[in-house]
Structures are given as C-alpha cells and as structure tokens.
Amino acid sequence: MTDTNTGGQGPTPPVSASDRRAGRNRRLRRIAGTLLSLALTLLGLLLVTFIIGRVMPIDPVLKVVGDRATQAQYDAAYQAMGLDQPLVVQFFRYLTEVVTGDFGRSISTGQPVIEDIKHVFPATLELATLGTLIGVSIGVPLGVIAAARRGGIIDQIARVVALVGYSMPIFWLGLMGLLLFYGILGWVGGPGRQGIIYDGMVPHVTGMILVDSLIAGDWAAFRDAFSHIILPASLLGYFSLAYISRMTRSFMLEQLSAEYITTARVKGLSERAVIWRHAFRNISIPLVTVIALSFGSLLEGSVLTEIIFSWPGLGQYITKTLLAGDMNAVLGGTVVVGTCFIGLNLLSDLLYRVLDPRSK
C-alpha cells in the first residue's frame, strides 16, 4: 500500500462533503452574480433608451395626432399615452411593456414595432454573420503568421491591413466597391438583397435569404442573393478582420515569448506544432471573446453599410424611422441591438468558463 505522506504518487485524497458544498455554493454565487449583472445591465439599457425618448426634440403626441389636431385632441392623446404621469411611473410602464415585447406601434409603417423588427433583423443578422466569418477565416491565420514571423513581410502586411481597416471611412470604401465591382467590372450584384426577378420567390422560413434558398433548393436564387451580399459582407468582414488580426497577433506575441514555448522548442517540437498546438491553443480562449465582440459590433455598426447598399436591415430601419421622428421604432431597434450585444458578452463569458477550467 502506498504511503501518501512519503512524497510518492499516492492515491488522490477523497473530496469531503463540506468541500463539495463549498464548491457548489461558489458556483451558485457566481451564477447569481452573473444573472444580477445581466439584469442591471439590461435595466441600465432600458433607462438610457427611456431618457433618450424623453429628451429628443420630437413631440410624440404630434406624431400621432398630426399638427392640425385641436387642443382637446392633443390633450386626450397626451393622457392616453401616459405622458401626464410622473417620469418614474412612465419608466415603470415602459419597462413593463418592453419586457413583454411591446415596443408600441410604428408611426412610419403602422405596424407593431416588434413585427417590423422581426421582418428586418434577419437581414442584419445574415450580413453580420457572413462578415464575421470572413473576418475570422482570414484575420486569425493572418494574426498568427504575423506574430510567428514578426518583422517579416507578412507582419508588415498585417499591420498595414489593420491600420487601413481602422482609419478608412466605411462609406467611402462602400461607394468605391460599388463603383468598381458592380458598376465597372460587374462581378457582384447591385444594392439590395436580391434582383427584382427573384424578389419574393424564396419561401420565408428564417428570413435569411441564403439559408432559405438552400432550404428551398433554389440555386439560382442562392447565387443571386450571394452576389448581392458578398460585397457588403466583405466590407464588414474587412473591418472585423482588422480588429481580429491585430488582437490575434498581440495574443500570439505574448505566448511566443513565454518560457513553455522555449521549452517546447528545446524538446525538438516542430515550429508548426509549437505555434498551433501550444501557443494558439492558449490564445483560443480570449480569442472567443474578441470574436463575440466583433460580431456584436457588426450587428450594431452596420448602419452606414446598410444605407450605402440599400440593405433592408435593422440599421436602415432605425435610420429611416429616426429621420421620420418615429421614436417607438428607434427605441425598439436600439433595445434589440443593445440586448444582442449584452447577450453576446454573456455567451462569450460562458464559453470562457467552459473552455478554461481555471476560471470555474
């Protein structure tokens, strides 16, 4: 029988019931803390959107009754909208409505805001998802190779790509892309999600035309939709690539200077194994957070891209309704985008805990 006090590799001592309870309590406290943080963040988001709706120089009552309404009609609508109540009461009413999915009715479309968002959000989701895939598939390998060959030609290219991606105005790149690839070369489809002849031909299942056309087996519609989405998605993917490649390079440089990398090289491991099996494995955890934040940024930051390419997504919807003074639609869209960003942060945090046992 092995003596566990002699310094040998004895059997692992059993975990006591008190240790199990302590571990379970720590996990419960961590879950409770995460849920509380999520609730407070959402509450803060709703408070900010409520305040924005009240300080904007737009009279919501006039948008409903029109500027030719009588004073009696105005007063009746003012009371019906609850604007005569104290701000605290108005906020709790707003909070209750939003929690139940009621963002009010859009003045621009005459439809419930939530129905408008259900219609336009899949277009933004499809565009941002493809843009993120492009950014990840190119940005991660570029960042890894740039770090592995620091100071070389690929590293210089990666740094220039990141610099241009951060500094170049997206609307200018979009216009130049349309002029070159659509107007001159004719390699891609024009503005919009589909050509006129394919509009409405694909059955609506997910709202994402690429997916719906694959489900329907309509390859002609798929090719047409892909030709329209590839340019705006590549544009967003370029900005995502700039951020992801820069962060990947930074993470890799930190790992490649660590002692365990030197030890792995001394042991005779190939450079490929050192880079991809050891260094890259250790950066994959923080890289998940970077990719999630990049995806959230594309969801909320695709407004200019959607306007330039006439992409009927959430960004264009918010812009049009803002210009029309339709605050119900603007605030509803803002809440949805903010909630998606918070959800992505929570998802990245959960994935971090799953992938890194030390954070549990």
Measured distance CA(286)–CA(293) in Å, rounded? 11
pLDDT in tens, 174-223: 889 999 999 899 899 888 888 888 887 888 889 899 999 999 998 999 99
Record the tokens describing residue 111, joined without a space: 């439809």
pLDDT at residue 357, as a whole number: 57
Selected residue with higher pLDDT from 337 and 301: 337
pLDDT-based confidence at 30, cuts 50/70/90? confident
pLDDT at residue 5, as a whole number: 44
pLDDT-based confidence at 18, cuts 50/70/90? low
Instruction: Of 165, 119, 174, 139, give the one whose Cα is nearest residue 317.
Output: 119
* Residue 301 resides in a domain: yes
Q: What is the three-class DSSP state of 105?
A: strand
Domain match, 214 and 352 both? yes
Record the tokens describing residue 5, joined without a space: 């006090």
Picking from 38, 69, 99, the residue at the C-terminal end of a domain is 99
Q: What is the mean pLDDT of residues 2-8?
A: 44
| Domain with 88 in it | 17-99
The single residue listed with the structure tokens 């621009």 is 108
Which domain CATH number covers 337?
1.10.3720.10
Picking from 56, 74, 99, the residue at the C-terminal end of a domain is 99
Question: DSSP letters of 110-159?
Answer: SSBHHHHHHHHHHHHHHHHHHHHHHHHHHHHHHHHHHHHTTTSHHHHHHH
Q: How far is CA 268 from CA 149, 180, 260, 261, 273, in A?
A: 19, 50, 13, 11, 10
* Residue 164 resides in a domain: yes
Picking from 36, 66, 99, the residue at the C-terminal end of a domain is 99
Selected residue with higher pLDDT from 360 and 115: 115
pTM of the shown model? 0.82
